[in-house]
Amino acid sequence: MNKEELLAKIESLRTEANGALAALDSLVSLQEFKVRFLGKKGLLTDILKSLSLLGPEERPIVGEAANRAKTEIESRLESLRKNLDQKERSRLQSQKQVDVSLPGLKLPRGFRHPLSLVEKEIESIFVNMGFSVFEGPDIESDYYNFEALNFPADHPAREMQDTFYIGPRTMDQGQRTQEKVHGPWSMVHGPLLLRTHTSPVQIRTMEKQKPPIYMICPGAVYRHDDDVTHSPMFHQVEGLMVDRHLTFGDLKGVLTLFCQTIFGKKLKTRFRPSFFPFVEPGAEVDISCVLCAGKGCRVCGGDGWLEILGAGMVHPAVLEQVKIDPKKFTGFAFGMGVERIAMLKYGIDDIRLFYQSDMRFLEQF
């Protein structure tokens, strides 16, 4: 074959290929086309094989024409492939079309109790400040609940905390016999009762450990009381710091830092004198109302302040009781109601909601 024939053949091949390309409508036919025209045994390859029959001057001319034809076909083929690819993806995608407004998969989930959440928050604040966490029994002796905490016997200070006693039912409240009931519970330390505060844990800790002591004790406490704001059982976190050189100023600093951490930096605290037998000077700590920011509202009773903590410097009689020298060591103690804090934090107005397990309530936390 000579040069002219070959060039004509290339030209006719180009025309034929272009015609065939226009008819391609699937990736399969595209592949067939590619084999037929450009494959190892394809038509264009045939032509290129005949190049060797030409003279050295003619070869580049025909070669170039063949290559041009090849590039042209390849580029058309590629754009067609992209086109078909795109069509195919769209077809597949249209099959997977979803309504994204459909609800997602709902696996069941439970909720932590609000008191757990608040107690955890309180604990973590104090632990971060360096306080350890200790616990103690709910059933306590008179000694740990009252006597060691400087509650004088036969003094009305004890009635600040109405007490549940352990023992058989008696008609006459004054006559309590406790011979049998308690089994292993120790009766060495006076009559058994449900602790009215977690302060006994302070005593138990100080009996075992010498200062410095930085501790909190969370737990359930019990008082003979039941209405919208009082539950016969509630939860407290008490704290105690005993070391050299601790002052009332430190008490104020630590508790203000705590209140601002749990209720917000802008909050103000107010310390005013109060009385708890195991501390002196004793204080009641108020925070500026979380609802009205101190302007006065229904929650704070109009004066802008909310009672939140009891506190004070550890009474020297308490330190003496656990053989810590009150001349060398000072300390402060504080106590707060977890329910009270949760109620203020979440705006809960009935304490009984905590213990009823109403799902409508619990699933809000």
Q: By CB under 8 A, what part of segment 228-267 binds other proteins?
A: 231-233, 241, 243, 245-250, 252-254, 256-257
**Whole-number minimum distance, CB 361 to other proteins, in Å?**
10
DSSP letter at 66?
Answer: H
Q: What does R_g of the chain's alpha carbons equal in angstroms?
A: 43
**Whole-number minimum distance, CB 320 to other proteins, in Å?**
11
Nearer Cβ to other proteins, position 87 or 155?
155
Restricting to residues 174-193, name those near other proteins by CB under 8 A.
Answer: 174, 176, 178, 181-185
Restricting to residues 191-210, name those near other proteins by CB under 8 A.
Answer: 194
What CA–CA distance (Å, rounded) separates 166 from 355?
22
Return the residue of 1, 22, 35, 127 that touches other proteins, per CB under 8 A.
127
Restricting to residues 56-115, name those near other proteins by CB under 8 A.
Answer: 102-103, 105-113, 115
Around 226, how many Cα atoms within 13 Å sit in the side-chain half-sphere?
5
Longest dimension (CA), the chain: 133
**Whole-number minimum distance, CB 213 to other proteins, in Å?**
10
How many other C-beta atoms can be found within 10 angstroms of the C-beta atom of residue 308?
23
Helix axis angle, 114-129 to 338-346, nearest 10°: 110
Return the residue of 282, 294, 304, 310 that touches other proteins, per CB under 8 A.
282
Nearer Cβ to other proteins, position 68 or 155?
155
User: Could you identify the residue written with the tokens 């000072």?
Assistant: 330
Return the residue of 45, 138, 261, 293 that touches other proteins, per CB under 8 A.
138
Restricting to residues 18-37, name those near other proteins by CB under 8 A.
Answer: none
Restricting to residues 323-362, name those near other proteins by CB under 8 A.
Answer: 330, 354-360, 362
Paired residues of 203 in beta bridges: none
What CA–CA distance (Å, rounded) separates 323 from 192?
24
Restricting to residues 144-173, name those near other proteins by CB under 8 A.
Answer: 153-157, 159-160, 164-170, 172-173
Count of positions on this chain that bind other proteins (CB under 8 A)? 95
Return the residue of 34, 116, 147, 345 that touches other proteins, per CB under 8 A.
116
**Whole-number minimum distance, CB 87 to other proteins, in Å?**
30
Return the residue of 281, 297, 299, 345 that touches other proteins, per CB under 8 A.
281
Residue 142 near residue 190, CB atoms below 8 Å: yes
Nearer Cβ to other proteins, position 45 or 116?
116
DSSP letter at 156?
Answer: G
**Whole-number minimum distance, CB 360 to other proteins, in Å?**
7
Residue 280 near residue 315, CB atoms below 8 Å: yes
Nearer Cβ to other proteins, position 214 or 334?
214
What CA–CA distance (Å, rounded) separates 293 from 267?
8
103-112's contacts with Cβ under 8 Å and 24+ in sequence apart are: 111/362, 111/363, 111/364, 111/365, 112/365
What CA–CA distance (Å, rounded) separates 328 from 320?
11
**Whole-number minimum distance, CB 207 to other proteins, in Å?**
17
Residue 302 binds to other proteins (criterion: CB under 8 A): no
What CA–CA distance (Å, rounded) separates 299 from 134?
33
Nearer Cβ to other proteins, position 62 or 312?
312
Nearer Cβ to other proteins, position 67 or 170?
170
Nearer Cβ to other proteins, position 199 or 231?
231
How many other C-beta atoms can be found within 10 angstroms of the C-beta atom of residue 148?
23
Nearer Cβ to other proteins, position 24 or 318?
318
Instruction: Specify the stretch interacting with other proteins by CB under 8 A; choose among 17-25, 54-62, 273-281, 287-295.
Output: 273-281
Question: In which order are the strands placed within the sheet that holds 132-133?
Answer: 132-133, 213-222, 233-243, 330-337, 305-314, 279-288, 269-274
Instruction: Specify the stretch interacting with other proteins by CB under 8 A; choose among 19-27, 88-96, 290-298, 309-317.
Output: 309-317
What CA–CA distance (Å, rounded) separates 130 from 108?
38
